[in-house]
Structure 1
Amino acid sequence: MNIDISEDRKEMIDMARELVSIVKEKMIEYYAGDSRRVHHFLKVHSFAKLIAEIENMDPGEQEVLEIAALTHDIGIKNAELKYGYNNGRLQEQEGPPEARRLLRDAGADERAVERACYLVAHHHTYRNIDGLDYQILVEADFLVNMYEDKADMDTIIKAYDNIFVTESGKWLCRQLFSLKY
């Protein structure tokens, strides 16, 4: 099957791929020596990208989602330096200033920076989810966290019932954790 894509759309997709690659490299440098954190954000990015593609997300919105997925936990480092620990609230508090610096340095436009920072500032807030990008980021983070935290089946089922909304996110959750829905 050959899909005809306009030259403008091709250029937009190529530019998005370039920005995402730059942000990915900058985040790897940001967390140099902390392979656990690098593995985490790369996995969240991979699931977010996959869900976005299956959901046929607009390329511009997908670009913002992808850079938010890469930077979603950027607040952990400063939270641990300032407070000696991190939790969801501190990640949401400390993340946006760091993400804003990194994304501007990577060349992201201001609209993308602000939406990505909003997502970073809310990715542990599961009520009033306003947008497909926000929903997908939460689902991707849950998929990775449930695996990394070795969540029990009751926790996974509760997350499936209460967090997952997209059909592709639900499908992935069922596949990854052998849910019988």
Structure 2
Amino acid sequence: MTNKELILANLMRAMIKYDGGDAPRIQHFVKVHDFARMIAIAEGMTGEDLFVLEAAAILHDVGIHVSEARYGNCNGKHQEELGPNEARKVLSEVDGFTATQIERICWLIAHHHTYQDVTSLDHRILLEADFLVNSFEDHLALEGIITFRDHVFRSESAISMLNDMWGL
């Protein structure tokens, strides 16, 4: 096991503790992490970029509970607003992240429901991985899945996974 794998395992454990008692949300971020890692590797991402993406995938929905407490819902824009501060709290419990990495992780969390003007591979993959999971968990209609794929997905591996998953 590498040091980065250990850091990510510790982060996942900290996030499970943070979301304690909320098994559906824990299951969600574990699946998003796995899809993000799989897509990233297939797209050739390695090293620090992969490490930061994996951390962001684990933490991407960290703003949900505080959003529900403050606004009474878990609207994506509220998650983007409140998530980075919550992510910093969780990240402070886990050694191994630089200030630069934390800033990028928080930026990704602050944009994980922003589908326009996506210019970076890590942002794109996080959106795609989250949708792969949400399309199943939210019981989305096939026409909505196809529309989202056609307008948002760009990574060949993510498109292939979505098509295979839904028999498209």
Give yes or no for TM over 0.5.
yes
> Structure 2 matches for 1:110-129, cutoff 5 A?
110-129=99-118
Residue from 56, 71, 76 that aligns with 1:68: 56
Native 8 Å contact 2:28 2:133 kept in 1: yes
> Structure 2 matches for 1:85-164, cutoff 5 A?
85-107=73-95, 108-164=97-153
TM superposition outliers: structure 1 runs of 4+ over 6 Å: none
Residue from 66, 70, 75 that aligns with 1:78: 66
Task: Give the deviation of 1:15 after TM superposition.
Answer: 2.1
> Which is further off, 140-149 or 101-110?
101-110
Counterpart-to-counterpart distance in 1, 2:157 and 2:29? 20
Structure 2 match to 1:28: 16
Secondary structure at 1:86 match in 2: coil
Counterpart-to-counterpart distance in 2, 1:158 and 1:145? 14
Secondary structure at 1:106 match in 2: coil
Structure 2 match to 1:16: 4
Is 2:45 the partner of 1:57? yes
Can you give the 5+ residue segments of structure 1 that lack an aligned partner in the other structure? 1-12
CA RMSD between the two structures = 1.0
Determine which structure has greater relative contact order: mean sequence separation of CA pairs < 8 Å that are 6+ residues apart, divided by chain length.
2
Can you give the 5+ residue segments of structure 2 that lack an aligned partner in the other structure? none
With the length of structure 1 as denominator, give the TM-score of the two structures. 0.89
Code of the residue aligned with 1:77 in structure 2: it is: H
Secondary structure at 1:122 match in 2: coil
CA-to-partner distance for each residue in 1:8-46, whole Å, 9 max, x for gaps? xxxxx8122111111100000001110000000001001
Task: Give the deviation of 1:130 after TM superposition.
Answer: 2.7
Native 8 Å contact 1:104 1:113 kept in 2: no
Native 8 Å contact 1:100 1:114 kept in 2: no
Counterpart-to-counterpart distance in 2, 1:101 and 1:157? 37
User: Number of paired residues?
Assistant: 167
Code of the residue aligned with 1:125 in structure 2: it is: T
Code of the residue aligned with 2:27 in structure 1: it is: H
